[in-house]
Amino acid sequence: MAIKVLAVDDEPDVLRLIQIKLKKAGFDVVTGRDGVEGVEMAHQEHPDVVLLDVMMPRMDGYEAARKIKAEVKPAPIVLMLTAKGSESDVMEGLMGGADDYIIKPFSPRELIARVNVALIKAGKSPQSSE
């Protein structure tokens, strides 16, 4: 069974890129457009991995990560995928429950590798890479 990834970003082009690249690598991908929708979708879809942008309307990615980690059981792997790359931003993400922090712009191959590494660390089987 394919690993399910929930990608949450308010930029449609970024979501489309993530969806295309991850599907090509064998992941099942669902998407959300803001933090509130991301939390709702995490409850409905029970993804293995959640990719969260930080700067989103209605609820930022930091708050969404905290809610998802606290409320969704079993808790999915959460990776922040954002342009906010200062040390304090990275620390806030990691301290808020993110399992990894990827700074935009990102390489799709690196994204797939980081998702797979996070899956391995969580004791799950990785998907094949592109």
Name residue, tokens 């931003």. 89
Closest by CA position to 83, among listed 98, 103, 63: 103
Q: Let me know if residue 126 belongs to a domain.
A: no
CATH of the domain at 107: 3.40.50.2300
User: For the whole model, what pTM was predicted?
Assistant: 0.93
Direct distance between the N- and C-terminal alpha carbons of the chain, in angstroms, rounded to an integer: 18
Q: Let me know if residue 85 belongs to a domain.
A: yes
Residue 21 is part of which domain span? 4-121
Contact predicate 23/115, CB 8 Å: no
**Quick one: pLDDT at residue 84?**
85
Q: Let me know if residue 130 belongs to a domain.
A: no
Q: What is the pLDDT along the chain (130 residues), one digit of tens a residue?
A: 789 999 999 999 999 999 999 999 999 999 999 999 999 999 999 999 999 999 999 999 999 999 999 999 999 999 999 888 889 989 988 988 899 999 999 999 999 999 999 999 999 888 765 4
